[in-house]
């Protein structure tokens, strides 16, 4: 087995003071969608002990990566996997995903899943580099407040 890759990031759990910078990072990365309220998403993820937002800082202390990780008791999931556009291809994405995997593994999860838009080939390549494999499934979704479907 290969030795684990030395992480290029310092990982921490989001704190109140981080929230504006995290939302700005998500907006710069195109991860903030009009139908999601990022502040509310962060607040929900911080509410229970089965979800979290992890942050990655580089050697200068700059916020460069984030991931929202959580589980439903069966599978681990990640959302908002983001690396600052000025800091891509430095293994920061790999490192923040490793932090999410560690977090979920420590909570007993055996498998991690994530959703990527079908036409986002570059991100498919990223996840495949990390050892994720595509699964033939169709995802169904429904807004529980009765809203019309979003894309
Ligand atoms: C996807 C994303 C997190 C990758 O971050 P990153 O820090 O640049 O990725 P890393 O440097 O850790 O790359 C890890 C591996 O993925 C590959 N990879 C990363 N981005 C890639 C791209 N755009 N196209 C092809 N391969 C890519 C790297 O080449 C590397 O492969 P290797 O180790 O086999 O050489 C980043 O591009 C991003 O934030 N994108 C916008 C937000 C987004 O779409 N997130 C995913 C939501 S589902």
pLDDT > 90: percent of the chain? 87
This prediction's pTM: 0.94
pLDDT for 2-53, tens place per residue? Answer: 555 567 999 999 999 999 999 999 999 988 888 889 999 999 999 999 999 9
Residue nearest ligand 1's atom 40 by CA: 82
Distance (Å, rounded) from C-alpha 100 to C-alpha 50? 12
Confidence bin at 1 (pLDDT 50/70/90): very low
- Provide residues with CB under 6 Å of ligand 1: 29, 31, 81-83, 88-94, 116, 122-123, 125-126, 129
Residue 93 alpha carbon to ligand 1 centre in Å: 6
- Give the closest residue to 87 by CA, choosing from 60, 69, 68: 60
Superfamily of domain 10-129: Gcn5-related N-acetyltransferase (GNAT) (3.40.630.30)
Helix (H, G, I), strand (E, B) or coil at 75: coil
Domain ranges of the chain: 10-129
* pLDDT attached to residue 129: 98
* pLDDT attached to residue 32: 83
**Rounded mean pLDDT, 98-109:** 98
Distance (Å, rounded) from C-alpha 84 to C-alpha 70? 22
Environment class of 29 (CB within 10 Å of its CB; exposed 0-12, middle 13-18, buried 19+): middle
């Amino acid at each position: 087995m290969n030795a684990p890759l030395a992480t290029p990031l310092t990982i921490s759990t989001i704190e109140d003071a981080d929230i504006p910078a995290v939302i700005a990072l998500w907006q710069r990365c195109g991860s903030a969608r009009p139908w999601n309220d990022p502040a509310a998403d962060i607040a929900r993820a911080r509410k229970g002990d089965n979800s979290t937002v992890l942050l990655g800082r580089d050697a200068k202390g700059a916020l460069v990566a984030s991931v929202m990780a959580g589980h439903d008791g069966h599978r681990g999931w990640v959302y908002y996997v983001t690396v600052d556009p000025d800091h891509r291809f430095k293994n920061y994405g790999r490192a923040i995903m490793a932090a999410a995997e560690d977090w979920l593994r420590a909570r007993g999860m055996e498998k991690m899943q994530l959703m990527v838009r079908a036409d986002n080939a570059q991100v498919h390549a990223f996840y495949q580099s990390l050892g994720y494999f595509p699964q033939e499934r169709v995802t169904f979704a429904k807004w529980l407040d009765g809203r019309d479907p979003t894309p």
